[in-house]
Copies of this chain bind each other. A is one copy, B any other.
């Protein structure tokens, strides 16, 4: 069973190599820009400054078949579903961050953990209380 994603835009970040990328979102990090493709601009109505959003995006050039890996952070050997590694069956990144500014066709946020030109999948209002889990980040 498979299904097709539609990319709704891309993300501008200051990071052009994996080594420059932070491992997770940094709320005081540099400005990043969600640039929506023209055909999806209508979907932005109602997004506003200060709102917290969940952003989903797609990691390219990853290994989708490696189900057990060593955590980049702790070295621990674990299943991919117990890690935040981008190398996973569905390489979807998920970050919650606050909208700094809504521009014409773009949303400015801070401190995303992905490369410049990362493909954007979805934006939703954030809602669930997530807690920092310090044990098993990749």
Contact = CB atoms under 8 A, between A and B. Distances in A.
Interface of A: 1-8, 24-25, 40, 42-47, 51-54, 56, 58, 64, 67-68, 76-84, 88-90, 92, 94-97, 119, 121-133, 135-137
The residue in A51, A53, A127 that gathers the most chain B C-beta atoms within 10 A of its C-beta is A127
Q: How many copies does the complex hold?
A: 2
Contacts of A67: 40, 42-43
Given A5-B3, A45-B68, A46-B78, A135 B125 contact: yes
A96 B97 CA distance: 16
Given A84-B127, A90-B121, 4 more contacts: A40-B81, A53-B81, A96-B128, A129-B130
A135 B130 CA distance: 19
Given A5-B2, A52-B133, A124 B94 contact: yes
Nearest to A60: B3
Contacts of A135: 51, 125
